[in-house]
């Protein structure tokens, strides 16, 4: 059983770049389990998962394009904390501004809410019924009254809202969708 817990902990780990806090917490979970304290072991696993989701969110931030010329970008590092309420996953968000206009670009991966929306955003017929379909390369977005929403790899939701479409499109066009589809794999 110890081997199974160890393997489960390692399977959750995204790679060797894990912070010491994550490794320490996973080791604490194993030690608690070995001592027979299953409740504390589960708490430690939940905390380790939270820490790893923060690492994943940092990885998603890399997919937020730099601001276009004349614009600024401010990354919201607290967006990922709100995802815990919605079932977990990883998220990144940035606000782009040119002084007069601003919009928010958010990316959410592996969240149960995104999975529930996949049926709509993964189906062009349903997307067309929800709003105007906008293509960015091979990626489809639906424009629902100024909010552009797309689904990458049936598990990553990309949303931009708050400014006219022509201001948001250059940033959406700058996203590496192939790289984003490989996120977390």
Please, what is the Cα angle at 115 between 114 and 119, to 5 degrees? 105
Which residue has tokens 């149960």? 112
Q: Is the pLDDT of residue 9 over 70?
A: no
Higher model confidence: residue 167 or residue 88? Answer: 167
Higher model confidence: residue 11 or residue 47? Answer: 47
**Tokens found for residue 138:** 């091979």
Higher model confidence: residue 55 or residue 95? Answer: 95
- The percentage of the chain sitting over the pLDDT mark of 90, rounded to a whole number, equals 46
Determine contact, residues 53/88, Cβ cutoff 8 Å: yes
pLDDT interval class at 88 (50, 70, 90): low
> CA torsion 130→136→137→140, rounded to 10°?
-20
pLDDT at 158: 94
Give the mean model confidence (pLDDT) for residues 107-125: 75
Low-confidence winner among 51-65, 111-125, 139-153 (lowest mean pLDDT): 111-125
Q: Is the pLDDT of residue 68 over 90?
A: yes
Q: Are strands 139-144 and 147-152 parallel, antiparallel or unpaired?
A: antiparallel
Alpha helices by DSSP H, the chain: 2-12, 20-34, 38-61, 79-83, 112-121, 124-130, 165-173, 177-181
Q: What is the mean pLDDT of the chain?
A: 82
Higher model confidence: residue 47 or residue 1? Answer: 47
Low-confidence winner among 15-24, 54-63, 149-158 (lowest mean pLDDT): 15-24
Which residue has tokens 């790899």? 153
Low-confidence winner among 50-59, 71-80, 106-115 (lowest mean pLDDT): 50-59
């Amino acid at each position: 059983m110890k081997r199974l817990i160890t393997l489960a902990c390692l399977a959750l780990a995204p790679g060797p770049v894990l912070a010491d806090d994550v490794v320490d917490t996973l080791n604490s979970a194993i030690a608690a389990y070995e001592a027979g304290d299953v409740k504390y072991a589960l708490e430690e696993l939940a905390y380790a998962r939270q820490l790893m989701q923060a690492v994943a969110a940092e990885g998603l931030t890399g997919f937020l394009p730099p601001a276009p010329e004349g614009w600024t970008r401010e990354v919201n590092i607290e967006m990922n904390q709100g995802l815990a309420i919605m079932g977990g996953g990883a998220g990144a968000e940035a606000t782009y501004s040119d002084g007069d206009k601003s919009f928010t670009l958010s990316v959410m991966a592996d969240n149960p809410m995104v999975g529930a929306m996949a049926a709509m955003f993964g189906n062009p017929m349903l997307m067309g019924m929800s709003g105007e379909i906008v293509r960015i390369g091979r990626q489809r977005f639906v424009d629902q009254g100024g909010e552009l929403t797309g689904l990458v790899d049936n598990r990553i939701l990309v949303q931009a809202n708050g400014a006219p479409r022509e201001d948001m499109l250059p940033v959406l066009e700058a996203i590496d969708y192939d790289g984003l589809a490989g996120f977390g794999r």
